[in-house]
A and B are shown apart, each in its own frame.
Chain A
Amino acid sequence: MSVAEILALLGIALTAGVLAGLLGIGGGLLMVPAMVLITGFDQHVAQGTSLLVTIPAAAFGSFTHYRHSRLALRDAAGLAVGGVVGALLGSLTALSLDEDLLRRLFAVLLLAIAARMLLTRPQAPAPVDAEPT
């Protein structure tokens, strides 16, 4: 890996991290296109690498929520049971798709998310404790 590539990846990650924090969206959505368009990664490799990077980021964030008692492990386990089955199906499907097709499908996902950002006003998150019991 060249120095230029290392610097490019650092820049991509820094930017994605800052924007993800600011906009409340996941970093993968930003890192995948950046890896494809800037560092010239194959769409499949960009997506696989993004998934691996997501693990420590999500684990770190969850630990903070857990320590502040904002996390119901029962509910997370419910999501995860369906989630791992879905992830298995989704990733096997992605790997079976042609690179060009997968990149275009990703572009359609970006367009859909951008449209949703333009059409819906963001709601301030309600304080956790405000939920009626």
Chain B
Amino acid sequence: MVSSFTRPNLLILAAIGAAAGVLSGLFGVGGGIIMVPAMVLLAGLAPQRAAATSLASIVPIAAVGAFIFGRSDSVDLPAAGILVVGSLIGVQIGARLMPRVGDDRLRIGFALFMIAIALTMLVS
């Protein structure tokens, strides 16, 4: 399967990775939110392959960020341990509910929820 893939330009991939890395380090997120669409639009990858590839690159990207934040005492290790356990369970539940992906009401409801969170963070 992998051998039949197109081989996207490595320079383009590195540039996309660099942009995602900046976003990841700056905001503590993975960076998939820009890598996946960028790989589809600029490197011509199929969305599912782009998602799998971006996830793998997030491992070293997040490791660099965690190391830099850790050096500045900006990582809470016990909290991270609890969050890992909880999110691994949560992802299993989410995967079982997968058929609801693409449900417009879920997506719109969540977007509105995120706007409410953002406004709270702006005024607090």
Q: Is the CB of B58 within 8 A of A54?
A: yes
Q: How many residues of B contact A (CB 8 A)?
A: 96
- Complex Cα distance, B28 from A48, in Å, reads 6
By secondary structure, the B interface counts as: helix
Question: How far apart sit A79 and B26, CA to CA, in the bound complex (Å)?
Answer: 17
Contact A110 B121, beta carbon cutoff 8 Å: yes
> Is A130 interfacial (CB-CB < 8 Å)?
yes
Q: Are the C-beta atoms of A23 and B21 separated by less than 8 Å?
A: no
* Listed residue (A65, A86, A93, A104) with the most chain B CB atoms within 10 angstroms of its CB: A86
Give the docked Cα–Cα distance between A103 and B118 (Å).
9
Check: B83 CB closer than 8 A to any chain A CB.
yes
Interface pair B26/A94, CB less than 8 Å apart: yes
Chain A residues with Cβ under 8 A from B23's Cβ?
Answer: 86, 90
Task: Indicate if B22 sits at the interface (CB-CB under 8 A).
Answer: yes
Query: Separation in Å of the B94 CB from the closest CB of chain A?
Result: 2
The CA-CA distance from A19 to B101 in the complex, in Å, is 10
Chain A at the B interface: SS class: helix
Q: Which residue of B lies closest to A23 (CB)?
A: B110
Q: Is the CB of A87 within 8 A of B65?
A: yes
A41-87 contacts to B, CB under 8 A, are 41-42, 44-62, 65-66, 69-87
| Interface flags, B81-115, vs A, CB<8A=1, else 0 | 01111111111111101101110001110111011
Choose one: B20, B48, B70; the contact of A79 (CB below 8 Å).
Answer: B20
Docked-complex contact A58 and B62, CB < 8 angstroms: yes
Q: Which of B59-90 contact A (CB under 8 A)?
A: 59-66, 68-70, 72, 74-80, 82-90
| Extra 6 A-B pairs, beta carbons < 8 Å, given A72-B49, A80-B60 | A47-B74, A79-B35, A92-B25, A94-B26, A106-B121, A125-B46
Q: Could you list 6 examples of A-B contacts with CB < 8 Å?
A: A17-B92, A19-B94, A23-B110, A28-B28, A122-B102, A128-B46
Binding site for A on B (CB under 8 A): 1-2, 4-8, 10, 13-33, 35, 45-49, 51-66, 68-70, 72, 74-80, 82-95, 97-98, 100-102, 106-108, 110-112, 114-115, 117-122, 124
